[in-house]
Structures are given as C-alpha cells and as structure tokens.
Amino acid sequence: MGADNYTKCPNCIRKAEEKKDVTKEIVGNDLREDYEVGFIEGDFYIFYNARCSKCGFTFKYEKKNKEEAT
C-alpha cells in the first residue's frame, strides 16, 4: 500500500512561532509525505519520506524486517 499526503511542515510552524507576528494557521500545507507499507519478497517494509516545498525540510524513514511464515 502506498499513498501521499500534504500537511503543515513542522519546521515552517516552528519558524512562524519564533516570529510571533505569524500564526501557524497561516502556514500552508507545503510538506509532501510519501509512504509505503507492505511485503516485498517476504520482507515487511515501511518507507516514509517528507519534503517541504517552502523551506526544504526533509525527513526519511525506512525499515525492513524479514518475516517468517506462521
């Protein structure tokens, strides 16, 4: 299963809060999240990637586990 989503960037929210003249409600949905969860050739995997088009913030997470059939 894979999907993508747009949400508020935690880095942009932090910067807006530091300025105090901009509220986090003004921060747009500039953070694109892409993720996949499932099995590939018997291995369970989770892949998550996020990138903000406004500030360039990035985050990546990847995990694979060998699963034994029960």
Can you give the residue range of the structural domain that contains 43? Answer: 2-66
- The pLDDT of residue 16 is 84
Report the alpha-carbon distance of residue 50 to residue 46 in Å, rounded: 14
- The pLDDT of residue 58 is 98
| Domain count for the chain | 1
- The pLDDT of residue 69 is 53
Q: What is the dihedral of CA 58, 29, 48, 70, to 10 degrees?
A: 160
Residue type, 45: Y
pLDDT in tens, 11-36: 998 888 888 755 556 778 999 999 99
Q: Tokens standing for 36?
A: 């996949």
Q: In the predicted model, is pLDDT for residue 70 greater than 60? A: no
- The pLDDT of residue 66 is 77
Mean pLDDT of the region 26-49: 90
